[in-house]
Structure 1
Amino acid sequence: MIAHLTDLQSPEACGRLVVKVGSALLVGKDGKPRRKWLTGLANEIAQARDRGQEVIIVSSGAIALGAAILGLEKGGRGSLADAQASAAVGQIALSSLWAELLGNHELTAAQVLITLEDLEGRRRYLNASATLHRLLETGAVPVVNENDTVATHEIRFGDNDRLAARVAQAAKANAVILLSDIDGLYDKHPSEPGASRIPMVWGVDDEVRAMATGDSDSGIGSGGMRTKVNAVEIAERAGIALVIANGKYDQPIARAIGLHGDDGIGTLFLARRHDTARKAWIGGRLRMKGTLVIDEGAVNALRDGNSLLAKGITRVDGGFVRGDPVRIEGPDGEWLAKGLAEYDAPECAALVGLHTDEQEKVLGYTPRSAVVHRDQLVMLR
C-alpha cells in the first residue's frame, strides 16, 4: 500500500511503476536528445529493476526529434501533416535511443505505439494490456508513446500524461511518476508570491481542480497541470497512486521518491477508490459519443447506486449507438457520470420521461432494465 513518496522505492508496495518523460526533458532546445540526462535516467530505471521493480516508460519526444531532423518549424506542430511526418522520423530515433540507453544496462527496450482508440475500445484495450503484461514477464522494458504518425486530432490523447495513466490501468501498475518541469501541484500558480507545493493529495476534488492551470513553462510539451490532474483522476479509479515531480534535475526519480534519505520532493496523489477493472476502464475513457441530461430525482438515484432509468432523462444529445460511452449531466449541466448506453440515441430520445410500463409500446419489444445499467456506470461527482 502506497502512503508516502518513499513507498515508491519498495518492490512490495510498488512492484510495477510507470515513468512518464516529457518532451522538454528528453529533447534540448537544439532538437537533439539530452543524452547526459537520459543516461542518468536509464541508470535510475536499471536501479529500480535491481530493486525488484518492473518499469514501463511513457516517452514523449518523437515529434520534437523528427522535426529537428526534417528541419520543420514550430517543433513539428505547425500542422497535423507536419506532426505526423515528424513522428514518422522521430519514432525511429526515439526507439533507437531508448534501446541504446537501456541496452547499456543489459535491459531490452520494447517499443509500444498506441492510439486513443487502442485504449477506448474494450477488445483492443485488453489486447494492449496482454501485450504489456507479456513484455514485463519476459523482462523487457516497454517504451510507450502515442502513435502520432496515424493519429488525427479527433483520435489523439493529445498529451502523454493521460496516456501514462491509461497505460498504468492497462498494465495494473501500482504507481505513475509524471516527470515534468515543476516540483508538483501548488496551491496557486508557482510564479505567484507565497505559492506552496502540496506534498500529498487524497483524491481530486473541485478545490484541487481549481489549483491546476493549463500553463507549461517549457513551450515544447503539450501538457500542463490540468492534464496532469486529469491523469490523476484516471489513475485513482484503478487504485493507482500518481506522483508529479520535477524532471529537470539529475537523478529525478531519486529526488522524487527520497532515495537520498529525505522524504521525497513532489506531489503524491493517493488513490481514494479502487473500481473494478471494467469500471476503471469506463471511467478512464476520454471520448463520449453523446449526452444524457437527467432530472434531480435521477441524480439522487445515481448517487444512491441505482441504474439510470428513462423516466429520469430530460434530454438526449449525440449520435451514439448501444454500447457507446455517454456523458450523464445533471439539470444544472454538471458532468455527473459516464456510462455505456443500452439503447441507440433515437431510442433513448423516444423513451425520455417514460415509465418502464410505457416503453414497450414505443419500442415494439420488451424494454431493457435501464438506459444505463449501474454495472456500466461510473460516478464522477
Structure 2
Amino acid sequence: MSALAWTAGLSLAVWLWLLLGQGLFWRTDVRLPPRREPDVWPSVGVVVPARDEASVLPESLPSLLAQDYPGHAEVFLVDDGSSDGTGVLARELSRRHGGLPLTVSSPGEPPAGWTGKLWAVRHGIGLARARGPEFLLLTDADIAHGPDSLRELVAAARTGGFDLVSQMARLRVESAWERLVVPAFVYFFAQLYPFRRVRVRGSRTAAAAGGCVLLRTETAGRAGIPDTIRHAVIDDVALARAVKSGGGHIWLGLAERVDSVRPYPRLHDLWRMVSRSAYAQLRHNPLLLAGTVTGLAVVYLVPPVAFVAGLVAGSTAAAVAGGLAWLLMTATYVPMLRYYGQPLPLAPLLPFTALLYLFMTVDSAVQHYRGRGAAWKGRTYARPAPEQR
C-alpha cells in the first residue's frame, strides 16, 4: 500500500472514532433539559458588557428589557469605553421600550492583567450583587433573547440543580461566507467540547458559550469569577472550567430562543473573529500549533485528496479509505447544517472550510508573534497577562 493509502486509512480510523467515541458531538439535539417552573421565582441580575455596540443594540437590548419573567430581574449594561454612544443609546432604548429596569454605567479602562470584557463583567456583577440576586445572566450586547428565554434558563437551572447553564446562541447565516463558515464554527466547537460530556460531573470537559451564561451568584463568588480568569481571552471556556473545577455542575447546549444579531458579511470579518483567539486556544504553544495543523490536515484534508488522487492513480485502497472518511465527515456535518437551515450540498465542502480555519489558526499565531495578539475593538492582548501577587 502507498503512503497516501496508509494516511487515508489513518484518517478513516480517526473519523470512526469521532463518530462513536467523541460524545456524539455531531448530534444537535442537546437543548435545554427538562424543567419545571419553581413556586417562587428567584431574582436575577442581567449583566451586559458593551463596547461600541450601537449598531446591534437596537435589536438586542429591547429583547432583554421585554423578558416575560415572573420574578424580579434587572439589567446592568456596562459601557466599556465606547466611542459610538452605546451608553446614551441604551438609556434611550430603555425610555422608549420600558420593561425591566436598566442601569447603565462605565468602569473606566481596565487595569493591567485584565481583558476589557472581563473588567466590564466584574463591574456589572458588582452592581448586580448589591441587589442580592440568586442568579446572574451574563450575555453579550449582540445577543437577542426570546421573551421567555430568562424564565426557561432559570427553570432549567433550578430543576436540574445546575450552577451554570449556557446556550450557544444561533449565529447569523445570511451572507455566502456566513453560510460556509458559521455552521462549521459551531461544529468544530462541539467537536472540541462535546456538549454531552460538559454536563457530566467529574468529566474533564468544561465549556460555555459566552453570549448566554446563567450563573448562580453564590457559585460565581465561590469560584472567584471573574477575578480568577481576568486575563482570559477565551473567557467563556475559562469561566466554565473555573466553575467545574470548584465542584460546580454545568450544562451547555444549542439555543432555541437566543440569537446573535452581529453580521459577519465578509470573509475578513469571520477571519478576524476566529484568528483573534485561535492561538490563545492553543495556549500560545508552538508545539500545539504544529499538532493542530497536522491534525486538521490528516482529518479534514487527506480524505478528499486521497479519494481524488486514488481514482486518478488507480489506487483502490486510497480511494476507498479517503472516500469513506469523506463520507463520514459529510454525514456528521449534516445535522449542524439542518440546525442552521442551510442547504445540504454544503456538507461535502467541509474540507475547504477546514482549510480556511487552518489558515486562520496559523495567522493567529503569526499575529501573536508580531505583537498584535488578540486584537479586538481597539485593544490588543499580545500575551497572557502575568499573575498579580
Asked if TM exceeds 0.5, the reply is: no
Alignment TM-score, normalising by the size of structure 2: 0.29
Larger relative helix fraction = 2
Compare relative contact order (CA 8 Å, sep 6+) and give the higher one, 1 or 2.
2
> What is the TM-score with the length of structure 1 in the denominator?
0.30
